[in-house]
Structure 1
């Protein structure tokens, strides 16, 4: 055989009941000659034969006796049994067999034993369950397992969300709650013909008050063909109580989808431009979605969002695929002296870009008088430009950090203006050359009068 860089035979794709073509053991990169067209055609025919044999195997599985199929299904876990039940009506009934599911149920929810001995009470309970299988309708223990498993996860998540930060009033064990629930986020890009492109989140970081989520990739659809973008929370239909999920979750398992917000991409470049550098330009879509476009050809580079922790689990799990979760009705909190305006309040600031934190602190004793109302907003001065003692230094290189699968960068900013339906934030920075650091010299919070009246039951 010729030597040098090229191709040489090696074992081909194996398929049950079908070996490699006669005279060919496969293709591999290494010392040898380039494959001829005849060899490539032979390889293609072999792959087609393998595909047909695999299809015949799948069809012949349905022709097996029910007793054999039940033996096979008994080796599957709960998730795979549910998937098998989606093949056809016969598989659905077989995969709902009570004898299979009572074993799964007892394994998952039986109390842990501290020794090898099983007391008579437990033995009796197991035997009663087995004797009562014939009295239960088909699929009874499957439903019982799913209901109890979901209830178990919900109870664990609720327990984790109880402890709150005294400064923010937000959950402090959000990371553990995300891990237990398997919660993740996807964006669904929909083109003008209705075709959907689902993208899993690539990066996720948990901050004091929010979760930062980023999506990027190589194969974005063309921006000109897109109409809408859906931001959704996704959770597994149910989690395994005793197995920790992966960081991004198992995307191949059945999952619930909860719509958080829907955005229009038809006029993206006409929305608010947040900043740009030599490679990208970043646009803001309300509420709180940043979309990065390559400057050269105006195509998607990345999508980024900050999800506030306030009722994040509810908003990400309790909605449907088409309708967001609605917050419960608010009962007005009556201010003790509304004629004096807002007073005695505190603001917690968590200034970050992704997992890079610049400032995290609490400002107390904030107030606003009625005469501070202007253009439908009540102004709360957090840091005054005229009071040097209030100016706060920031940590690190301040800017909007972004990343894709190819490049990363940071867009410098010296002024921040954010506006939505509930209020506005204005922040000014200055660079001190002597100390090589940024300072916040002005920070003002503008609250919507309509929001204040709704929250406090007042009439400003």
Structure 2
């Protein structure tokens, strides 16, 4: 039977394997063989993931066919809303949009659950197990859950009246971290929608190769050590940055050969400066005013001064080192600033995580109805650099 199953897995589609195992053993006696069959089919599927993602996009340095791989494998994303009573509501995605470096998944067919009653938001990747002879997922296939994130809603923060990160006349929007954003109705405080920004780096692996209880953990591939280079780990970076909403890109640019000399370290950070404020030819413009459209089954609106920040920082071996896809806000600057090249209100975008921090400065140019991006600073944690390169700065 072992040899027969191996031959089936090599030669037949998953649908044919399943039918063959059931026919040979019968429904009642086939449990273990069915488990082995599922395991083998999952392994075959995971092997296909690697082949589908082999080609690298020359601009982003990320897999060129992430969207096609997701569609070919039939991957989707599921939101589980857990109430404080432990009741769970399972919600399939309403839509997903792909961008050069990321994807945004939205859930907006929601019951109007009061936020104060919610305990946890959990997102899973759903990957079908069985595929037909054409290579596409079977419509009736069971799906394997892969944990992407789990966010506990701290009751004390909400009860103390946390201020929203963005709002319009209808909804309040809160940025929860790790790309997760939720909105509540101003009237009643019920859950209006949830969205998740997902960076493309190993997205398909994270959505297919984890389990329902644990996330997929990739193997770290460290660059080769160079004990001759006195600035090892401080140069040779490239970075691609985009500002977008959930449907369209406002601005994007790539920066090559970023570096930081030892004498220019800022505290425990290596400072990389893709756009210098005092060099006008570094500056660029967005294509329009930045805002975040939203929708539910019944309503839609626009929240101003809010967008999604996508960042990919590659090391000197062109390996993705720092990957970000997160909602951010444009905050008006409270400092008096004079700029001789642009006349308008100053804004900034700040982001911080364990890998480092990002600061962007923008000026709203009224006559062009665009933002001028006049400064971008990436501070990469020396701790992260030391772990990545095996250095000791």
- Measured against the shorter chain, the TM-score band is 0.7 to 0.9
| 1: CA distance, partners of 2:162 / 2:131 | 40
| 1: CA distance, partners of 2:47 / 2:131 | 13
| 2: CA distance, partners of 1:149 / 1:78 | 6
- 8 Å CA contact 1:182, 1:239 repeated in 2: no
Alignment of 1:4-15 (within 5 A): none
Alignment of 1:267-286 (within 5 A): 267=155, 269=158, 273-286=164-177
Equivalent residue number for residue 362 of structure 2:
429
Equivalent residue number for residue 449 of structure 1:
382
Q: Match for 1:392 among 284, 287, 293?
A: 284
- Would you say how many aligned residue pairs link Structure 1 and Structure 2? 335
- 8 Å CA contact 2:114, 2:188 repeated in 1: no
Asked if residue 322 in structure 1 is aligned to residue 213 in structure 2, the reply is yes
Equivalent residue number for residue 158 of structure 1:
50
In structure 2, do the counterparts of structure 1 residues 140 and 265 end up closer, same or farther at CA, with 3 Å as the change threshold? closer
In structure 2, do the counterparts of structure 1 residues 293 and 232 end up closer, same or farther at CA, with 3 Å as the change threshold? same
Equivalent residue number for residue 180 of structure 1:
72
Equivalent residue number for residue 98 of structure 1:
24
Unaligned runs of at least 5 residues, structure 1: 1-76, 86-93, 102-136
Deviations 1:216-244 (A, max 9, x none): 12414322221111111111122223274
Asked if residue 380 in structure 1 is aligned to residue 272 in structure 2, the reply is yes
Deviations 1:143-180 (A, max 9, x none): 89756754554443322200001333210111211112
Deviations 1:76-129 (A, max 9, x none): x987997xx9xxxxxxxx98223999xxxxxxxxxxxxxxxxxxxxxxxxxxxx
| 1:357 Cα offset (Å) | 0.7
Unaligned runs of at least 5 residues, structure 2: 1-12, 306-329, 331-346
| 1:340 Cα offset (Å) | 7.0
In structure 2, do the counterparts of structure 1 residues 377 and 285 end up closer, same or farther at CA, with 3 Å as the change threshold? farther
Equivalent residue number for residue 222 of structure 2:
331
| 1:210 Cα offset (Å) | 0.9
| 2: CA distance, partners of 1:315 / 1:297 | 36
Asked if residue 310 in structure 1 is aligned to residue 209 in structure 2, the reply is no
SS at match of 1:314: helix
Equivalent residue number for residue 260 of structure 1:
148
Equivalent residue number for residue 325 of structure 2:
none
TM-score of the superposed pair, with normalisation by structure 1:
0.65
Alignment of 1:28-177 (within 5 A): 96-98=22-24, 150=42, 152-177=44-69
Alignment of 1:183-332 (within 5 A): 183-242=75-134, 244=136, 253-267=141-155, 269=158, 273-332=164-223
- 8 Å CA contact 2:115, 2:184 repeated in 1: no
| Structure number having the greater strand percentage | 2
| 2: CA distance, partners of 1:366 / 1:99 | 62
| 1:310 Cα offset (Å) | 1.2
Q: Match for 2:302 among 379, 404, 409?
A: 409
| 2: CA distance, partners of 1:171 / 1:341 | 24
TM-score of the superposed pair, with normalisation by structure 2:
0.75
SS at match of 2:374: strand
Asked if residue 419 in structure 1 is aligned to residue 352 in structure 2, the reply is yes
Equivalent residue number for residue 391 of structure 2:
458
| 1:353 Cα offset (Å) | 1.2
Deviations 1:45-101 (A, max 9, x none): xxxxxxxxxxxxxxxxxxxxxxxxxxxxxxxx987997xx9xxxxxxxx98223999
In structure 2, do the counterparts of structure 1 residues 308 and 417 end up closer, same or farther at CA, with 3 Å as the change threshold? same
**Greater relative CO (CA pairs within 8 A, separation 6+):** 2
| Structure number having the greater helix percentage | 1
| 1:395 Cα offset (Å) | 1.4
Asked if residue 438 in structure 1 is aligned to residue 371 in structure 2, the reply is yes
| 1:371 Cα offset (Å) | 3.4
Aligned-pair Cα RMSD in Å: 3.3
Deviations 1:326-383 (A, max 9, x none): 2224435435624476223211112211121112221112111223333432221111
In structure 2, do the counterparts of structure 1 residues 78 and 308 end up closer, same or farther at CA, with 3 Å as the change threshold? closer
| 2: CA distance, partners of 1:277 / 1:253 | 42
In structure 2, do the counterparts of structure 1 residues 141 and 456 end up closer, same or farther at CA, with 3 Å as the change threshold? closer
| 2: CA distance, partners of 1:423 / 1:271 | 25
